[in-house]
């Protein structure tokens, strides 16, 4: 068993401010940066149409940023903002910072604009946005295994888990079923800038792929790290999971058409973890979770919300093996940071000019 990267069942202690599995000298006794939130997707028009995707990132006592958007029609298209100004943002005080609430409950909340996130000791959870759940009110049913990553070469400071959940409830009052990825991040208490301690570099790419196949089996594929070889894992319900601390990702990088700074996106790629080959096909584009005007500001060089130069993102389909298949529900998110053509070429990646 790889002691740094592995799949395991989440237990109640993993929701604590300082989980026992990370509370050791090797991991530097880290504490939660912010346990409330994550990202998710609803396919309101069907699995082959641009989905609604959302993300909320939190610190222990404050919001970092959040947004709901509808993805663009193609992998190089921009998104349409749905909920940004009407949900809790960095300017809004965390009335209940992330903590243990009682013997069975952990979470955080803001009274106005209303937001609530909960995880319970049976593994389930709840996520509400908007007063009386007017924007979203979903219950979370976790996959039986989460991926844990301890302090390692790619993550010399932080430790974290990523937990796929089936989300059932309402979005804007209509019944929905989708998926949510709850991420718990932990960093040492002293001497660390918690805003930048996610890993040792801003030059990274990640693919977080999860879904339920048409035959009902749950599936997760994940990698994260810098462009020289990220870490990650793959799990299919009924099979033993596999992990790797050196993954090669193969695909062509293409320039974002609306950026003139050399930012690139790899819309289609595959990667291997032991005997598993995972394929990703990017179909719908986005640029952060802010308003379209924020993207326009970024392109013109001004500071902007939830997006930046060198950043590219895409959502799409994935499958393992040689024969493509569909998922009933899925949540995929691929992000690249500092993905400039000259940096990628210097690392040996193929950039199509």
Q: What is the mean pLDDT, run by run of 10 residues, along the chain of 353 residues?
A: 88 94 92 84 96 91 90 95 94 89 95 96 96 97 96 82 97 98 86 51 85 98 88 96 93 93 96 96 93 69 61 96 97 95 94 92
Mean pLDDT, all residues of the chain: 90
CB 312 within 8 A of CB 255: no
For residue 225, the model assigns a pLDDT of 85
Selection from 65, 62, 70 nearest residue 85 by Cα: 65
For residue 293, the model assigns a pLDDT of 67
For residue 118, the model assigns a pLDDT of 96
Selection from 82, 87, 83 nearest residue 113 by Cα: 87
CA 205 distance to own-chain centroid: 11
For residue 204, the model assigns a pLDDT of 83
For residue 288, the model assigns a pLDDT of 86
CB 64 within 8 A of CB 196: no
What are φ and ψ of residue 40, in 5° steps? -165, 175
H or E element: which one contains 297?
helix 292-299
For residue 199, the model assigns a pLDDT of 47
* Sheet of strand 268-273: strand arrangement: 242-244, 231-236, 218-225, 205-213, 327-336, 312-320, 276-286, 268-273, 249-251
Selection from 39, 42, 124, 128 nearest residue 88 by Cα: 128
Q: Cβ contacts of residue 168 below 8 Å, gap of 6+?
A: 138, 139, 141, 176, 177
Q: How far apart are CA 206 and CA 325, in angstroms?
A: 22
**pTM (2 decimals)?**
0.93
């Amino acid at each position: 068993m790889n002691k740094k990267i592995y799949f395991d069942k989440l237990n109640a202690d993993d929701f604590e401010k300082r989980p026992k599995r990370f509370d050791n000298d090797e991991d530097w006794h880290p504490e939660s940066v912010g346990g409330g939130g994550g990202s998710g997707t609803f396919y309101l028009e069907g699995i082959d149409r641009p989905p609604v995707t959302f993300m909320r990132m939190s610190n222990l006592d404050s919001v970092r940023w959040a947004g709901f958007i509808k993805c663009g029609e193609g992998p190089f298209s921009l998104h349409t903002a749905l909920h940004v100004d009407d949900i809790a943002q960095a300017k809004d005080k965390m009335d209940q910072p992330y903590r243990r609430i009682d013997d069975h409950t952990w979470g955080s909340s803001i009274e106005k604009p209303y937001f609530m996130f909960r995880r319970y000791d049976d593994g389930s959870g709840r996520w509400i946005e908007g007063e009386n759940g007017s924007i979203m009110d979903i219950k979370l049913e976790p996959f039986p295994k989460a991926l844990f990553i301890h302090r390692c070469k790619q993550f010399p400071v932080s430790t974290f888990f990523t937990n796929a959940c089936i989300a059932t409830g309402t979005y804007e009052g209509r019944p929905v079923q989708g998926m949510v990825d709850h991420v718990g991040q932990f960093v040492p208490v002293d001497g660390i800038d918690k805003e930048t301690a996610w890993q040792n570099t801003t030059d990274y790419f990640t693919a977080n792929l999860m879904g339920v196949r048409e035959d009902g089996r749950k599936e997760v594929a994940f990698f994260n790290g810098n462009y020289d070889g990220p870490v990650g894992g793959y799990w299919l319900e009924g099979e033993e999971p596999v992990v790797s601390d050196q993954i090669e990702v193969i695909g062509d990088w293409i320039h974002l058409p609306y950026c003139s700074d050399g930012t690139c996106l790899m819309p289609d790629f595959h990667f291997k973890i032991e005997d598993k080959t995972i394929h990703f096909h990017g179909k719908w584009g986005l640029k952060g979770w802010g308003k379209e005007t924020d993207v326009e500001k970024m392109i013109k060089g001004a500071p902007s919300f939830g997006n930046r130069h060198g950043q590219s993102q895409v959502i799409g389909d994935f499958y393992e093996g040689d024969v493509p298949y569909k998922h009933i529900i899925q949540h995929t998110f691929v992000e690249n940071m500092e993905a400039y053509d000259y940096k990628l070429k210097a690392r040996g990646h193929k950039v199509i000019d």
